[in-house]
Amino acid sequence: MVFVGLIVCRLLCVLPAWGVFVSAGQASRIDAFLKHAHKWGFCKDIVTLNEILVMSGSPLFQKVQSPVHCLNSLLPSKKDNRLPAKK
């Protein structure tokens, strides 16, 4: 519980800011660290950096997409991603 409280929670806090800038090599090193932590018994589940990134970014972006959120006006307008109809 201490490992998850200290390490994983810190990763959750900082990933929205710098998670998209992590290179593949850095991500594999962090994943190896988290895998070793599971192997050594510091945490119950094997967690990957990608899973932590998804957990940290989704709720924040969903809140910003709310029409009453103060940052919503800064988002680009929604595009229609449907394919045009064939003639």
Q: What is the pLDDT of residues 34-53, one digit of tens each?
A: 888 888 888 777 778 878 77
Residue 79 has pLDDT above 80, yes or no: no
Judge if pTM exceeds 0.75: no
Domain containing 46 equals 25-65
Instruction: Tell me if 58 is assigned to some domain.
Output: yes
Q: 10 lies in a domain?
A: no
The span from the CA of 45 to the CA of 43, in Å, is 6
Distance CA 12, CA 33 (A): 15
In a domain, 78, yes or no: no
Note whether residue 51 is domain-resident. Answer: yes
Within-domain flag for 29: yes
pLDDT-derived band of residue 27, with 50, 70 and 90 as boundaries? confident
User: Does residue 47 lie in a domain region?
Assistant: yes
Torsion of Cα atoms, 33 then 29 then 5 then 11, to 10° = 180
User: Could you tell me if residue 70 is inside a domain?
Assistant: no
Number of domain units in the chain: 1
Comparing C-alpha atoms, which of 30, 9, 8 is closest to residue 21? Answer: 30
Within a domain: residue 59?
Answer: yes
pLDDT exceeds 80 at position 23: yes
Helix (H, G, I), strand (E, B) or coil at 48: coil
Question: Burial of 70 by CB count in 10 Å (0-12 exposed, 13-18 middle, 19+ buried)?
Answer: exposed
